[in-house]
Structure 1
Amino acid sequence: MTESAVFVTDIATTVVDLFAPTNFSDRMANTNFPLLVYSSPRYYFNGSLDNATTPAPPASFPAAFETTVRIMVPTIIAIIAIIGLIGNGTVLYIIFRYREMQNITNYFIANLAVTDVAMLAICAIPTAANIAGMPIGEGLCKGINYMQFVTVQATCCTLTAMSIDRYLLIVHAVRSRNTRTTTRAIIINVAVWIGSFVVHSPVAIFYVLENDKCFMKMGQNGRDARFYYLGSFLSMYVIPLVVILMCYAKILVIVWRKTSAGTESAQAHERSIRQKRKITRMVFIVVLLFAVCWAPIHCMILWEKFQEPFDLSMPTRMAVTVLRFFAFCLSYANSLTNPFIYAFTTASFKKHFKRVLSCSAPNECTDTKSMGPSTTYKKIGKFLVESPTSFKTRQPAQDV
């Protein structure tokens, strides 16, 4: 096996092999699993990891293990994609449907939802379809892997921007009044996408489909590709998290000082920024889940790129395969967690999620799109008839 084979994220070959009537492990010995975030688990199904020679045919996996893998993996991916698309689509609908939700923080949240939708629609769904038997060409080989890099990078940059925004709001509240604007938030979101597309353009250039294998062909025998993966790990995980932790360390210091002051004025000020703290906590939870969900796959990718060839026993192969599939699904699962965080940690999103659910009910829907008071309609036959409600004046968008 060549060095470049270790970097493979083969999409087409595995699809056919996974459901082929021939032996599962024998077929997987000659393929690479698709779309596993710029990596290849080839050696999990071979008896060894060898970048220079082709290994002997491995022993067969137990039948129960084979069946579980080829049924569970696409099923889990499909479930994650469906729930994530519905959840993130609802978040986008809420933000752009109700003007009181259109503030700086929520524009960043909307950008996160867009990255999650792109990841699930462009990467996760084709993965499940590919495992089910859909072949791909070189265009999808390049495009799907390119969008994986781009969406993860955009997610990291958006989380970093959100954390810096929290830092400015809590630590430099007065000074940041003129710099924290919705227009600037939109510009930052656009710049995040442009930067992500540009930074990872080598993926679209150097990914190739050769001999039914989709991999990054960079340098002699593809050896330079592993340094690109290392740089991507730094830009898509380490550096953003370091910046985020620095921001939250300073935020915690400021919050602790204000809380421990104990004076009546300090307590009144604490009440005035309680909402800001709730939003800050929500952002921190989103960042924490991102770090937890993406840590396993990053570790496994770096391990497989830089370790030396070695033999794997059957129990080890099975264990590593399960761990790798778990890490892969966990990274995709991060794209469906954010809507639940918003719904359970912020009152405004919780209220609007309930409002959206009420609109899906057959007999009642509350409309608050206009700047006027809310109006509740009852469905009578084919017509919506206005019903008496306690009118509530619409609140303008607040920056929190």
Structure 2
Amino acid sequence: MVYGTSQINRSFFYGSDNSTIYFTYFSEFNRSWKGAAYLEAITMIILCFVSVFENIIILGVIFKSRKARTVTNYFVCNLAIGDILFVSSAPLVAYVRLTGSWYLGDGMCHLLNYGMFVCSNTMIWTMVAISIDRYVCIVKNVSSSRRLAPVHIFYICAGIWLTTSCCFLPTAFFFHIQEIDQNGTKYKFCTLTWPSGHIHYSVLFTTMLLVLGFGLPVVIISINYFCIFKKFLNSKRAIDTISQTASNSGTQTRRKREHRVVTSLVLLVVIFVIMWLPVVIVFSMIREDIENGRNEMPSYGLTCALIIAYLNPCINPVLYGFMNAEFIRNIACCRRYKQRSTAVTMALPQEEPTSATYM
């Protein structure tokens, strides 16, 4: 069957049997403006390099500084690993956007999409774990070190990876390369093909993505940070009552700190919603188009939502690392240690270069 590219590049089109429905995902054919593919590819690659660079700094500080090895930062470490793995898919997606057709092979068709689902949801649930840890520490006033040892954190992080891997395992099997003929030209694309039957697998998948990949995490994170915000307000009122005679400079300093805390809490929730809601909306709209026989969602809608999601690994290091005053102090400690080590090495006699190793 022959299709126009305007139909192929939208929410769905029927296969040769007029019953199987396909979506082209990362592939798009015969674009009216060729520059769009280059713009998308350049944006994705820039986001990839920025994110990897930032998250490597986060990992380096945590591994080098013993003071940085807190419970929360262990979770941040797991988040950084998920960020790097997720955004590493960007160059491959950029390549597909440039070529249109899928030339990466059937194995990569299975692995790339499955890995993106697993890594993105691992990132999301690690952020949930961080919010829970902060809630217990701040609201319940229970020290993390009294509750969790590093081995416990390892089990929690491993459990997150294992759970997301199992939840999205079907996508590893049901993503396949499909080939179509359009005006004598064959196009190949990687798409999700669910088995036929009475069970609506696509509906179940979309519902799971909506609930487990966005809805439930947003609710948990919002509740935890709202409780922290309430605790902060109560503490603020108590401090204001006791220290009414505080100096102007002290009051201004406290207000700046309060403003920073409130801003951080709001940003954590708002940015999470902004980064991941577009992906959920696109999948939901594709499902809605299929159910109602409409064909309105363009294939580049998924790419735009994915680019927004790629922003999250760039912003996570800022929100969970560089905006953390304790983390900044750890970076400063690492720098001072490095400077001292360099100074000691330069001061040592040239004939004893190995002695610097033991300083």
Please provide the CA RMSD for this pair: 3.9
Tell me the TM-score normalized by structure 1: 0.67
Residue aligning to 2:140 = 172
Corresponding residue to 2:293 among 309, 318, 325: 309
1:248 aligns to 2:190 (yes or no): no
Task: Determine helix, strand or coil for the equivalent of 1:218.
Answer: coil
TM-superposed deviation, 1:275: 9.3
Q: More displaced, 124-133 or 327-336?
A: 124-133
Looking at structure 1, the residues matched to 72 and 85 of structure 2 have their Cα atoms a distance apart, in angstroms, of: 20
1:385 aligns to 2:346 (yes or no): yes
Corresponding residue to 1:367 among 330, 337, 355: 337
Looking at structure 2, the residues matched to 184 and 284 of structure 1 have their Cα atoms a distance apart, in angstroms, of: 29
Shift in CA distance, 158/74, structure 1 to aligned 2, threshold 3 Å: same
Shift in CA distance, 282/100, structure 1 to aligned 2, threshold 3 Å: farther
CA contact (8 A) 1:226 1:306 kept: no
Residue aligning to 1:12 = none
Shift in CA distance, 170/276, structure 1 to aligned 2, threshold 3 Å: farther
CA contact (8 A) 1:366 1:377 kept: no
- After superposition, residues 231-246 of structure 1 pair within 5 angstroms as 231-246=208-223
The AA in structure 2 aligned to 1:125 is: P
Looking at structure 1, the residues matched to 112 and 244 of structure 2 have their Cα atoms a distance apart, in angstroms, of: 52
Residue aligning to 1:186 = 154
- After superposition, residues 343-358 of structure 1 pair within 5 angstroms as 344-351=322-329
1:101 aligns to 2:68 (yes or no): yes
CA contact (8 A) 1:219 1:225 kept: no
Tell me the TM-score normalized by structure 2: 0.74
Shift in CA distance, 255/180, structure 1 to aligned 2, threshold 3 Å: farther
Q: More displaced, 332-341 or 144-153?
A: 332-341
Looking at structure 1, the residues matched to 56 and 216 of structure 2 have their Cα atoms a distance apart, in angstroms, of: 29
Identity %: 20
The AA in structure 1 aligned to 2:327 is: F
Task: Determine helix, strand or coil for the equivalent of 2:293.
Answer: coil
TM-superposed deviation, 1:115: 0.6
Corresponding residue to 2:10 among 24, 31, 43: 43
Looking at structure 1, the residues matched to 167 and 86 of structure 2 have their Cα atoms a distance apart, in angstroms, of: 17
TM-superposed deviation, 1:265: 8.8
TM-superposed deviation, 1:194: 1.4
Specify every segment of 5 or more residues in structure 2 that has no aligned partner in the other structure, as ranges: 21-29, 180-187, 247-252, 349-359
Shift in CA distance, 174/79, structure 1 to aligned 2, threshold 3 Å: closer
| Misfit runs of 4+, over 6 Å | 265-268, 274-281
TM-superposed deviation, 1:336: 1.1
TM-superposed deviation, 1:328: 2.2
Task: Determine helix, strand or coil for the equivalent of 1:305.
Answer: helix
The AA in structure 2 aligned to 1:385 is: M
CA contact (8 A) 2:225 2:265 kept: no
- After superposition, residues 192-211 of structure 1 pair within 5 angstroms as 192-211=160-179
The AA in structure 2 aligned to 1:170 is: I
Looking at structure 1, the residues matched to 258 and 133 of structure 2 have their Cα atoms a distance apart, in angstroms, of: 11
Q: What count of residue pairs does the alignment treat as equivalent?
A: 317
Looking at structure 1, the residues matched to 103 and 49 of structure 2 have their Cα atoms a distance apart, in angstroms, of: 21
TM-superposed deviation, 1:80: 0.7
CA contact (8 A) 2:61 2:68 kept: yes
Shift in CA distance, 162/215, structure 1 to aligned 2, threshold 3 Å: same
